[in-house]
A and B are shown apart, each in its own frame.
Chain A
Amino acid sequence: MKKVILILTLVGFVFAGDLTTPIPRKIDINNELALAGKELFFDKALSYDKSLSCASCHNPKYGWADNRAKSIGVKNQIDDINTPTVLNSIFNFRQFWNGRVDTLQKQLDDTFHNPIEMAMSRSLIEKRINYTSKYKKLFNKEYIEYKDVLDAISEFVKSLITPDSKFDKFLRDEVKLSKKERDGYKLFKKIGCITCHNGINMGGNSFQKIGTIYKFEDCVGDKFSITKKEIDRCVFKVPTLRNIALTAPYFHNGSSKTLKDAIIKMAHFNLGFPLDKEEVENIEAFLKTLTGEILYRDEDE
């Protein structure tokens, strides 16, 4: 009797509104600024030894992320964390794996000043940017300030959204999912993936611990490294599952090379039970429907 009441209670409070929403087809962008940002995004002059541009690690070829587990910074230094995609990053509630900043500008500032990553200073960036007339024209400005650089790149990144994924179309009742995909989505909800991977970005809107049921060993760059609070150990910003098929390898340390592996690992560490082969395939099929149209076309290259 007790059991029945409990189940009924649970069933009564399963969903609270829409758990996810489609990516909008359009977003308000200052086009001129975004164009300047695009130039900057691909400009290697923004790294200390001019070896890297933003695109070196946020590589359009790999879903605007890095295909390497850990990215390489200036002077061939190896970064300590996997590069997340910049796609749809405007929809994330915080930036970086540990969510230490809340705006794209701050993310950029952090990355520029990181000695392992771009290793730049404010003045050096301004010097490099104002060296040629290229940016003066783009910005329509005599002297480009550091802030202008941050704003421009942010504006460009903001424009990198991926609407019209199969899943979004499904949400808008434009297409139907295949059986596998549908079963995957059902499972995704049923077993609790959606508890953390929800919202417009299917993630990116809360802090969660990796390895809640079974401990995840490698938690480098977690929230604890910022707050030093015990409760923040292994806590990261939940990564987005949008375009997840494009952005291997997975996790903060890039430890999963395939999507299947990542699904199995998440089931084990965070859900605390194994999934059978079919279940994994179904979820994978569903996750692949999250790949959207990238508005940016790499026409220049």
Chain B
Amino acid sequence: MSRTIFNKKSIVFLLVGILIVTLLVIFYNQREGYFYNSNKVQLSLDKIGHKEINLNYIFLESTIFLYSNNDDLVRSISDLKDEISKLEKNEFFKKNYGSLYKKFKNDYAVNIDKKIEMIYEFNSINSTIKNSNTFLLYSISKFPKEHMSGENKFPVEYIHSLISTISNIFLSKNSLKNFIEKENIDKLENFKFHDKGQEKINKNIVAHLKMIYEKFPIYKDLLKKITHEHTLVTLAEINNNFFNKNLKTLKNVNYVFVLIIGLVIFYTLFVIFLFSRIDRENLKLKRVSDKLKKSIKTDILTGLYNRYKYEKDIEKSSGKDVLYLVNINKFKQINEYYGTKIGDLTLKKVGEILKKQTTSYGANIYRLGADDFGILISSEKNRDLIYSNLSRKIVEWFENNEIEVENLKFKVSVCIGISDSSPYFEKADIALRVAKDSHRLKCMQYSEEYNRAKEIENNINKSKILYDAIKYNRVIPFYQPIVNIETKEIEKYEVLARVLHEDGRVETIFPYLQIAKDNKMYYSITMAILKKSIKEFSAYKNLNFSINFSIEDILDEKIIAYLEEISIKNSYIFDKITFELLESEAIDDYNEIKLFIEFVKARGAKVAIDDFGSGYSNFEHLLNLDIDFLKIDGSLIKHIDTDESSKRIVSLISQFAKESGIEVVAEFVENEKICQILKELDVKYAQGYYFFKPSQKIF
């Protein structure tokens, strides 16, 4: 979402940037074009000025010099006219400087044409006057030697008048003031000569003088007009105005240019600002994301790595790691006893301790469950040493030290499961369970034997089978005869519970007992067997049977209620029953057992202790119980023919029983030899494959 907005934004920025740059480029080109064109006009105006000045110079030259090459004048005129027509054709000038263009064309160019016309007119007159001047000078230069001596000399008066007139002409020409006197010319014209030659000379001279007299005012006038022509002033005005206007435009153009440049700079700064802001935001985001990442990896309570981080690390594992799964024993009790706050602090403390204890190993510490800590060590060196060292170190620390939480000091014990192969956690957990179950071991390295996974699977299977069996009434009694060793006669039958599979296969109930206990199915089994065997044996007047009863059964009120009901309905049946109490289970409350024994015995039943000698057999307790039989545990009987200590124990039990007035029954009698030994040891009853296998039917 934010990304798309950013992209849109950046596109807008890009477009605006491109727009500004395009604007700048266009403006720059326009500006350049404008300057180029205006410079061209300026240059042209300057050139025209120079060419007119050049024309003036050449014109003045032609007036001063007696002889001049008119080609020069013509050339300078055509140069000027070419330059003017060039500017007249300049569209830029025409378009952008309309008023100046008009002034140039209608004022300057027109007056230049007039000036040129005047120059040509002046040139005509000037040529004539120049030639006449030459003639007159030439004429008077002849006077001293040709006309002032000899017979045909001119009169002095004439000469005086002539020289005066010619002098005036030169004076006039040089001063541009008219000093020529008409009377003088008339006087000369009217001079009477006797000599025809003289008359002829005078005639020509007078013709020249008259011509000069006539043309001089025009000459003077034209020269004045040409030299005082305003064209150069006009041009200077145009040039000035153009320059000023151009300067003004230039200023404006520069303002706009500076503005655009400013815009570019501003925009650049703005973009830089945006970038830095994005950077800052990115930094912030990075911090947040770092925190998040850390929080993903970290257990909030203990500050250790969490399960997630563990999974990640394990994914990267080389397969040569070691995981120590550390569990706090009876943590639940700490929680219940001190409250969850202390519980939490305890966890924290334990985490800290673990961390401290493992620093030298380069270990990662995780909190993997409620009170489960993981220590993952990637070291490949001295693996065996590490396991034992580290786990011992941890366990010992907790054994030797108290932890202090909120001024409370108490001991915490831990249990450690160790695994060095995948799946680490599951294996370490199994090892941990094994250690826990043992009650004695504080740490345990996983071994394939403890594959709890299979066990769990088995358990599930078993509970399913058992459930079905109970449901479909396939928990059935099998009967194994108990024989009097002496007489070899069947004294009674032990009722054994069997599971009848769907396929007709019969299996002993033992594998299912724990499941039954865990899943509240024990009652159903006991009831099924009890009911069926009671029913079965009701039919035989002389046949007795014994039935296994666990502590759970004894404590089960419904069973007790059932037994009571039976005793009322069918009181004789109790005479047939022996309740075999399983000795192997830890008997915590002997009172309950005592009460039960009293209960059944009052109704005529007998009581046996099953599997005697296998587990917690406590002779003293047993003595307090009013029992009829002791059933020696099969493990003692099985090897009695080879194992001397078994034989001794059995002998001891037998002796003890006899002294206490209790009959002894041996199980697992599998051969003649065992039977013989038992007989020697004064064991009265026996059961086992040597005599009979358990069967569905009563013999």
B402 touches A (CB below 8 Å): no
Q: In this assembly, does B123 line the interface, its C-beta being within 8 Å of a C-beta of chain A?
A: yes
Contact B70 A13 (CB under 8 A): no
Say if the beta carbon of A18 comes within 8 Å of chain B: yes
Q: Are A10 and B69 in contact (CB under 8 A)?
A: no
Nearest CB in chain A to that of B169: its residue: A6
A4-37 CB contacts (< 8 Å) to partner B: 6-7, 10, 13-21
Cβ-based interface call for B370 (8 A): no
Q: Contact at A16–B68, with CB atoms within 8 Å?
A: yes
How far is A276 from B131 in the complex, measured between Cα atoms in Å? 18
Contact A194 B132 (CB under 8 A): no
Q: Which of A17, A18, A206, A270 contacts B123 (CB 8 A)?
A: A206
Residues 68-112 of A at the B interface (beta carbon under 8 Å): 93
Q: Are A16 and B65 in contact (CB under 8 A)?
A: yes
Q: How far is the CB of B215 from chain A (nearest CB, A)?
A: 8
Contact (A198, B207) CB under 8 Å given A207-B123, A213-B132: no
Contacts of A209 in B (CB 8 A): 124, 128
Query: A3 an interface residue at 8 Å Cβ cutoff?
Result: yes
Are B127 and A93 neighbours in the complex by a CB distance under 8 Å? no
Looking at the complex, which one of A6, A195, A231, A272 makes contact with B130 (CB distance below 8 Å)?
A: A195
- Closest partner residue, chain B, to A92 (CB atom): B74
Check if B137 sits within 8 Å of A272, measured CB to CB.
Answer: no
> Once bound together, how far apart are the Cα atoms of A274 and B72, in whole Å?
31
Contact A198 B67, CB 8 Å, known A206-B127, A213-B211, A271-B135? yes
Our pick among B73, B163, B207 for the contact of A3 (Cβ within 8 Å) is B163
CB contact under 8 A between A273 and B128, given known A15-B66, A21-B71: no
With a 10 A CB-CB cut-off, give which of A7, A15, A194, A205 has the most chain B CB atoms. A205
Report Cα–Cα, A13/B63, bound state, in Å: 10
* B679 close to A (CB within 8 Å): no
- Bound-complex Cα distance A6 to B124 (A): 23
User: Is A208 located at the chain interface by the 8 A CB criterion?
Assistant: yes
Nearest Cβ on chain B to A41's Cβ, whole angstroms: 26
* Cβ of A189 under 8 Å from chain B: yes
| A46 in the interface (beta carbon within 8 A) | no
Q: Across the interface, do A192 and B69 meet the contact criterion of CB distance under 8 Å?
A: no
Tell me the complex Cα distance, A207–B126, Å. 11
On chain A, which size bracket covers the interface?
35 or more
Q: Cβ of A205 and Cβ of B71 under 8 Å apart? A: yes
Chain B residues closer than 8 Å to A192, beta-carbon distance: 130-131, 134-135
Residue B204 lies at the interface, judged by CB distance under 8 Å to chain A = yes
For window 180-223 of chain A, which residues contact chain B by CB distance below 8 Å? Answer: 189-192, 194-196, 198-200, 205-209, 212-214
Partner of A14, one of B67, B121, B140, B167: B67
A208 touches B71 (CB 8 A): no
Is the Cβ of A191 less than 8 Å from the Cβ of B134? Answer: yes
Chain B residues with CB under 8 A of A20: 69
Is B71 in contact with A272, judged by CB distance below 8 angstroms?
Answer: no
Nearest CB of chain A from residue B123's CB, rounded to whole Å:
5
Q: Chain B residue with minimal CB distance to A229?
A: B121
Chain B residues whose CB sits within 8 angstroms of the CB of A270 once the complex forms: 128, 131
A235 located at the interface, meaning its Cβ lies under 8 Å from any Cβ of chain B in the complex: yes
> Is B186's beta carbon under 8 Å from chain A?
no
Q: Majority SS of interface residues in chain B?
A: helix
Interfacial residues of chain B within 70-90, with CB under 8 A of chain A in the complex: 70-74, 78
Is B74 a contact of A195 with CB atoms below 8 Å? no
Q: Please, which residues of chain B bring their CB within 8 A of the CB of A19?
A: 67-69
Flag whether A297 is at the interface (Cβ < 8 A). Answer: no
When distances are taken between beta carbons in the complex, the residues of chain A under 8 Å from B67 are 14-16, 19, 189, 194-195, 198
Q: B170 near A: Cβ within 8 Å? A: yes
A213 to B61, Cβ gap below 8 A? no
- Bound complex: CA of A212 vs CA of B134, how far in Å? 14
Q: Which of A104-137 contact B (CB under 8 A)?
A: none
* Complex contacts, B72 vs chain A, CB 8 Å: 17
Known A19-B67, A191-B134, A272-B135; contact A205-B74, beta-carbon cutoff 8 A: yes
CB contacts (< 8 Å) of B692 on chain A: these are none
- Roughly how many angstroms separate A17 CA and B207 CA in the complex, as a whole number? 31
Taking a contact as CB atoms under 8 Å apart, the answer to whether B163 and A206 are in contact is no
A213 near B207: Cβ-Cβ < 8 Å: yes
Q: When A271-B131, A271-B135 are in contact, do A17 and B124 touch as well, CB less than 8 Å?
A: no
Query: Complex formed: what's the CA distance from A232 to B122 in Å?
Result: 11
Name the CB-closest residue of B to A213: B207
Q: How far is the CA of A6 from the CA of B71 in the complex (A)?
A: 28
B620 to A: closest C-beta gap in Å? 147
User: B128's closest neighbor in chain A, by CB?
Assistant: A212
Residues of A within 8 A of B132 (CB): 213, 272
CA distance A270 to B132 in the complex (A): 9
Q: A277 in the interface, Cβ–Cβ < 8 Å? A: no
**Are A14 and B204 within 8 A (Cβ)?**
no
Which of A13, A16, A20, A21 has the most chain B CB within a 10 Å cutoff?
Answer: A16
B159 to chain A, nearest CB (A): 12
| In the complex, chain A residues whose CB is within 8 Å of the CB of B134 | 10, 190-192
B54 → A minimal CB distance (Å): 14
A2 close to B (CB within 8 Å) = yes
B62 at interface (Cβ–Cβ under 8 A)? Answer: yes
Residue numbers in B under 8 Å from A231 (CB-CB): 121, 218
A189 CB, min distance to chain B CBs, angstroms:
7
Bound together, the chains give a CA A6 to CA B73 distance in angstroms of 26
Q: Does B64 interact with chain A (Cβ within 8 Å)? A: yes
Residues on B with C-beta less than 8 A from A200 are: 71
Report yes or no: B69 in contact with A198, Cβ–Cβ below 8 A: yes
B74 pairs with A93, CB closer than 8 A? yes
Any A CB within 8 A of the CB of B120? yes
CB neighbours of A205 from chain B (8 A): 69-71, 73-74
Contact between chains at A273 and B204 (CB < 8 Å): yes
Bound together, the chains give a CA A195 to CA B129 distance in angstroms of 10
| Alpha-carbon distance between A13 and B61 when the two chains are bound, in angstroms | 9
Measured between C-beta atoms, what is the minimum distance from A62 to chain B in Å?
27
Residue of A nearest to B134 (CB): A192
Distance A213 CA – B73 CA, assembled complex (angstroms): 25
B68 touches A207 (CB 8 A): no
Per-residue B-contact encoding for A259-291, CB less than 8 Å = 1, 0 else:
000000000001111100000000000000000
A14 touches B124 (CB 8 A): no
**With A213-B132, A231-B218 as contacts: A6 and B204 at CB distance below 8 Å:** no
Q: List 17 A-B contacts (CB under 8 A).
A: A6-B167, A10-B137, A15-B66, A16-B69, A17-B68, A17-B72, A93-B70, A195-B66, A195-B127, A199-B71, A206-B120, A208-B127, A213-B204, A231-B218, A232-B121, A270-B128, A271-B135
**Besides A13-B64, A235-B124, 16 other CB < 8 A contacts?**
A3-B163, A14-B65, A16-B68, A19-B69, A93-B74, A191-B135, A191-B138, A195-B130, A198-B67, A198-B69, A205-B69, A206-B73, A207-B120, A208-B123, A231-B121, A272-B132
